[in-house]
Chain A
Amino acid sequence: MSFEWLHPLLIATALVLAVIGAVRRVNLWRAGKPDRINLIAGLMAMPGRYLHDLHDIVERDKYMSKTHAATGGGFVLSALLIILVHLLGIDNQILAWALLAALALMFVGALFVFKRRLNPPSRISKGPWMRLPKSLLAFAGAFFVLTLPAAGVLPEGSGGVLLTVILTVLIIWGMGELFFGMTWGGPMKHAFAGALHLAFHRRQERFGGGRSTGLKPVDLSLAKEIGGVLGVAKPTDFKWNQLLGFDACVQCGKCEAMCPAFAAGQPLNPKKLIQDMVVGLAGGTDANYAGSPYPGKEVGNAKGGPDHIITDGLIDPETLWSCTTCRACVEECPMMIEHVDAIVDMRRYLTMERGKTPNKGAEVLDNIIATDNPNGYAPASRTNWAADQNLPLMRDVKQAEVLFWVSDGAFDMRSQRILRAFVKLLKAASVDFAVLGDEELDSGDVARRLGDDATFQSLAKRNLEVLSQYKFSKIVTTDPHAYHCLRNEYSDFGSDALDGVEVLHHTTFLNQLVQLGRLKLNNFSGAKVTYHDPCYLGRYNGEYEAPRELLRSMGIEIAEMERSGFRSRCCGGGGGAPITDIPGERRIADMRMEDASSTGAELVAVGCQQCTAMLEGVVEPRPEVKDIAEILMDQLVDPSVENPRQDRLAEEVH
């Protein structure tokens, strides 16, 4: 082949340009706020995270995981060998053969990518992404031919000028996409940013199965600093590794396909949101975005830059307020991007700096501030629901095995039925328990998700203060939101009130009681039952089994919905979404009820008062909705409990 000097020169050029691009990209990320990350440890852990955590998610789509392993693995190997063989000119037949094998692997993988792109589902982005499989093929194909002489298959210098020209064009194209494009913002950027994102992830604990939210407490003293801002106003207010994370998005749209708000036609699409964040960090418009829009909003009008206020032109606040914080997107994202934390970060700015929490938001927050409950009821009426229950108060008994965290369900008549059922079960199992009574405050969940971290922090601290006065080994609550706050978010406040305390959801605790034989249950003889996983119990806390085991212990065979377990669809009640109430085409609760109805179930078992409220809000005819505690209570075998008929009479009066 002629022009021997040409190809090494091209490779060198592409690599140099890639390095320059990498430096530029890194600087874009570094414009974010500092975050304490152990860089070396992160880099060391990165391959493991790729092989375990990331691969576990990709593995859910077998086709894609194999395709990616072949293409990506083949490419990394080829790139290294190309440098050795073609750039450094090491003349070694083994290396050349290895390179040929790697390229062949990559080529086969790329064929499958190509095939998937022939008839792409609506969730994945088109645009430059449609070009990617062809670029991969060009790269692998051209270098394959180029390597043949080195492997001794073809004599050196074979092929004419025409072949050289064709190969050169293909190589420029291939390297343009794969080396240059990787750091200058092409689709291959995901490999570069994705690898570093795994290493420097904002939520390092996530990889060990940690149950945190990345919602670290806002430093409220920032409000008084000159130029200080609460929450995220501009892209540069994100931590640098959050910016890096946004850049890792492959626009696969797995998040979009799972997002309940998107399905309901509310103006939110988590994929577009992440892409808008990329527009923000790099500067520009969304004109090149080639995926589904925010429902009801045209693409092309969003403008942003690192120092532009995000909600002034890049993202409509309605988009941020549509999110139920259900984390379906986070669960599904193969790049392990944290959408919810970013959304709440931006909500914090809207609420704490602009005072722009929509609809009932301001009123609810005011109520929480003034009365420690979202509806503005008298704090002294918190225990009214239990006037006839004779519950031991912590204030009196000082210690108990179990602290029953009642939650704001205390103020809601429907939720009170769940609370009563749970109390009856506790009594039937002779559990040594007590409640805080009027000393308990709202957990702060809603305030935090609505962006008012000041109020969340105040509630958390005051709750911890109360908790620290008493002795108990377990906290049990019927509210998954309070459960999440107590278990995962209260630990940021340096209190030892919860040290050594087990925080449990009532289904987990009841399941323990049943397994220990402390609760005897009749078999359930009613109709078909399905179970709805609450987001804050399942995805946030990984508890999928206990509620199911409880149902099975009553002889119930659960008719699972298509979306259940970690893929459960939100009821629409989380994240303050019913309060901010952004209009869509449908209601999320209706869609979830359709999921339930389509199993043929006549009873939906739930483990959350918010889910109960949302699902019961769906118009009849629909399956009945009951908390697992209520179902258990009806099946309870216990002579000491008054006969159930009287109970029902009593309930009707309330």
Chain B
Amino acid sequence: MPSNLPEVIGMQPNQFNVDVANKLKVVSLVSVGKHPQSGRMRRADQDSRAVELGLKLTGDNHSGESLTVLHAGDPSEPSLRSYAGMGLKSVRVLQLDPAADAILPLGQHLQQCGADIVLTGVRAESGESSGMVPYQLAEKLGWPIVPRVADIVSVKGGVAEVLQALPRGQRRSVMVRLPFIASVDSAAPEARQSAFGPASRALMDIEVVSASVDDVRQAWEEAAARKRPKRLKVVKAKTAAERFKAATAKSQGDGGKVMKNESAAEQAQAIFDLLKEEGVLR
């Protein structure tokens, strides 16, 4: 498999010109979710949207032939079955030590299985919840990453048209060459119901892998988050429309600027300056 973008473009020319949907290989990565109110393990909301999107891309045909739902961790975790309850025949599990870093084995597996599209949630509901998994995988594999997608509209000729979710229900359409990784936003279509029958029937397709222990993580201590008192928001809006706007607005980030017409060099310079200013680059 290719390890960087130019090679990808070079290797894929014919594959999707013929029949895309049948040969498309989608992998949805799932983690163990945690209900925000009860703290009970469950299927994670965004991850199950990733499975839903995977089902949509592979033609909903229940056989899951070209959709692999992949988890790295403990195969006996019951909440994995609730993903299977969406109508999957099996869930592929890379069994590894709970303390291990899953990135390496996941990356290897994805490379070997020849995935075209890898879908993940934006961030996990339990564990570190750093939201870094898709980025680290992309880095390992040398694939592009499209964060926060709401939908994948089409895959034609080795190129996917992807809708990214922006604040206030806006969407941005981007074209991405396969293979790529996308993290699925909460704006993506809701996951279908998980049914008890298929959930208990599904096969846990287990592969034992070993990976190095995540030392940094080991050193951490976990504690329940404490709720901090929040200042009440004073809504200054006068009309209902304004109140609605205020209530639904995601912060869009003040400042910033849109650079469309400048040259690539100018744009790059602007990004570079910003990163320096923010102290990301030193």
On A, residues with C-beta under 8 Å from B are: 220, 223-224, 229-230, 351-357, 361-362, 365-366, 369-372, 376-379, 452, 454-455
Contact A354 B195 (CB under 8 A): yes
Q: Choose one: A223, A357, A452; the contact of B201 (CB below 8 Å).
A: A223
Q: Choose one: A352, A357, A365; the contact of B197 (CB below 8 Å).
A: A352
13 cross-chain CB contacts under 8 A: A224-B200, A351-B196, A353-B197, A355-B87, A355-B193, A355-B198, A361-B193, A366-B42, A366-B194, A370-B35, A371-B35, A376-B35, A379-B38
Smallest CB–CB gap between B246 and chain A, Å? 25
B115-136 CB mask vs A (1 if < 8 Å, else 0) is 0000000000000000000000
Whether A379 contacts B37 in the complex (CB less than 8 A), given A223-B200, A355-B198, comes out as yes
In the complex, chain B residues whose CB is within 8 Å of the CB of A362: 192-193
By secondary structure, the B interface counts as loop
In the complex, chain B residues whose CB is within 8 Å of the CB of A365: 193
Whether A352 contacts B40 in the complex (CB less than 8 A), given A223-B201, A224-B201, A371-B35, comes out as no
- Does B137 lie at the interface of the complex (its beta carbon under 8 Å from any beta carbon of A)? no
Count of A-B contacts with CB under 8 A? 59
Among A223, A365, A377, the most chain B Cβ lie within 10 Å of the Cβ of A223
Residue of A nearest to B45 (CB): A366
In the complex, chain A residues whose CB is within 8 Å of the CB of B194: 355, 366
Contact B200 A355 (CB under 8 A): no
Q: Could you tell me the distance between the alpha carbons of A352 and B194 in the complex, rounded to whole angstroms? A: 8
Whether A370 contacts B192 in the complex (CB less than 8 A), given A223-B200, A352-B197, comes out as no
Whether A355 contacts B201 in the complex (CB less than 8 A), given A362-B193, A365-B193, A369-B42, comes out as no
| Residues B67-88 near A (CB distance < 8 A) | 85-87
Q: Choose one: A230, A354, A357, A371; the contact of B37 (CB below 8 Å).
A: A371
Contact A377 B37 (CB under 8 A): yes
Q: Could you tell me the distance between the alpha carbons of A357 and B197 in the complex, rounded to whole angstroms? A: 14
Residue of A nearest to B38 (CB): A371
Smallest CB–CB gap between B208 and chain A, Å? 24
Q: Could you tell me the distance between the alpha carbons of A237 and B272 in the complex, rounded to whole angstroms? A: 68
Q: Choose one: A230, A371, A377, A455; the contact of B40 (CB below 8 Å).
A: A371
Closest 9 CB pairs of A and B: A355-B195, A362-B193, A355-B193, A378-B37, A370-B35, A353-B197, A223-B200, A454-B196, A352-B196
Contact A223 B196 (CB under 8 A): yes
Whether A352 contacts B195 in the complex (CB less than 8 A), given A220-B200, A224-B200, comes out as yes
Whether A356 contacts B38 in the complex (CB less than 8 A), given A223-B200, A224-B200, A224-B201, comes out as no
Whether A370 contacts B42 in the complex (CB less than 8 A), given A224-B201, A355-B86, A377-B37, comes out as yes
In the complex, chain A residues whose CB is within 8 Å of the CB of B38: 370-372, 378-379
Contact A376 B37 (CB under 8 A): yes
Whether A229 contacts B197 in the complex (CB less than 8 A), given A355-B85, A355-B86, A355-B87, comes out as yes
In the complex, chain B residues whose CB is within 8 Å of the CB of A223: 196-197, 200-201
Residue of A nearest to B33 (CB): A370
Q: Could you tell me the distance between the alpha carbons of A355 and B199 in the complex, rounded to whole angstroms? A: 10
How many of chain B's residues have a CB under 8 angstroms from any CB in A? 17
Residue of A nearest to B195 (CB): A355
Whether A351 contacts B195 in the complex (CB less than 8 A), given A220-B200, A223-B201, comes out as yes
Contact B195 A353 (CB under 8 A): yes
In the complex, chain A residues whose CB is within 8 Å of the CB of B87: 355
Contact A230 B193 (CB under 8 A): no
Among B37, B196, B201, the most chain A Cβ lie within 10 Å of the Cβ of B196
Since A224-B200, A366-B42, A372-B38 are in contact, a sample of 12 more A-B pairs with Cβ atoms closer than 8 Å, ordered by chain A residue number, is A223-B197, A230-B197, A351-B195, A353-B198, A354-B195, A355-B194, A355-B195, A356-B193, A362-B193, A365-B193, A376-B35, A379-B38
Smallest CB–CB gap between A169 and chain B, Å? 56
In the complex, chain B residues whose CB is within 8 Å of the CB of A220: 196, 200
Whether A370 contacts B40 in the complex (CB less than 8 A), given A354-B195, A355-B192, A356-B193, comes out as yes
Smallest CB–CB gap between B185 and chain A, Å? 19
Q: Could you tell me the distance between the alpha carbons of A626 and B37 in the complex, rounded to whole angstroms? A: 32
Q: Could you tell me the distance between the alpha carbons of A202 and B37 in the complex, rounded to whole angstroms? A: 42
Smallest CB–CB gap between A382 and chain B, Å? 11
Q: Could you tell me the distance between the alpha carbons of A361 and B193 in the complex, rounded to whole angstroms? A: 9
In the complex, chain B residues whose CB is within 8 Å of the CB of A377: 37
Residue of B nearest to A225 (CB): B201
Q: Could you tell me the distance between the alpha carbons of A355 and B85 in the complex, rounded to whole angstroms? A: 8
Q: Could you tell me the distance between the alpha carbons of A351 and B199 in the complex, rounded to whole angstroms? A: 12
Q: Could you tell me the distance between the alpha carbons of A454 and B85 in the complex, rounded to whole angstroms? A: 13
Q: Could you tell me the distance between the alpha carbons of A343 and B116 in the complex, rounded to whole angstroms? A: 44
Residue of B nearest to A231 (CB): B197
Q: Could you tell me the distance between the alpha carbons of A361 and B190 in the complex, rounded to whole angstroms? A: 14
| Residues B201-219 near A (CB distance < 8 A) | 201
Smallest CB–CB gap between A544 and chain B, Å? 37
Q: Could you tell me the distance between the alpha carbons of A476 and B35 in the complex, rounded to whole angstroms? A: 31
In the complex, chain A residues whose CB is within 8 Å of the CB of B85: 355
B136-163 CB mask vs A (1 if < 8 Å, else 0) is 0000000000000000000000000000
B30-46 CB mask vs A (1 if < 8 Å, else 0) is 00000101101010000
In the complex, chain B residues whose CB is within 8 Å of the CB of A371: 35, 37-38, 40
Smallest CB–CB gap between B56 and chain A, Å? 15
Smallest CB–CB gap between A81 and chain B, Å? 55
Contact B196 A357 (CB under 8 A): no
Smallest CB–CB gap between A372 and chain B, Å? 8
Q: Could you tell me the distance between the alpha carbons of A352 and B37 in the complex, rounded to whole angstroms? A: 25
Smallest CB–CB gap between B207 and chain A, Å? 22
In the complex, chain A residues whose CB is within 8 Å of the CB of B42: 366, 369-370
| Residues B176-201 near A (CB distance < 8 A) | 192-198, 200-201
Q: Could you tell me the distance between the alpha carbons of A371 and B35 in the complex, rounded to whole angstroms? A: 8
Q: Could you tell me the distance between the alpha carbons of A377 and B37 in the complex, rounded to whole angstroms? A: 6
In the complex, chain A residues whose CB is within 8 Å of the CB of B196: 220, 223, 230, 351-352, 452, 454-455
Q: Could you tell me the distance between the alpha carbons of A368 and B87 in the complex, rounded to whole angstroms? A: 21
Smallest CB–CB gap between B61 and chain A, Å? 15
In the complex, chain B residues whose CB is within 8 Å of the CB of A379: 37-38
In the complex, chain B residues whose CB is within 8 Å of the CB of A356: 193
Among B38, B40, B194, B197, the most chain A Cβ lie within 10 Å of the Cβ of B197
Residue of B nearest to A455 (CB): B196
Among A220, A224, A230, A355, the most chain B Cβ lie within 10 Å of the Cβ of A355
Among B40, B85, B198, B200, the most chain A Cβ lie within 10 Å of the Cβ of B200
In the complex, chain B residues whose CB is within 8 Å of the CB of A369: 42
In the complex, chain A residues whose CB is within 8 Å of the CB of B200: 220, 223-224
Q: Could you tell me the distance between the alpha carbons of A223 and B202 in the complex, rounded to whole angstroms? A: 10
Contact A357 B40 (CB under 8 A): no
Smallest CB–CB gap between A269 and chain B, Å? 27
Residue of B nearest to A350 (CB): B195
In the complex, chain A residues whose CB is within 8 Å of the CB of B193: 351, 355-357, 361-362, 365-366
In the complex, chain B residues whose CB is within 8 Å of the CB of A352: 195-197
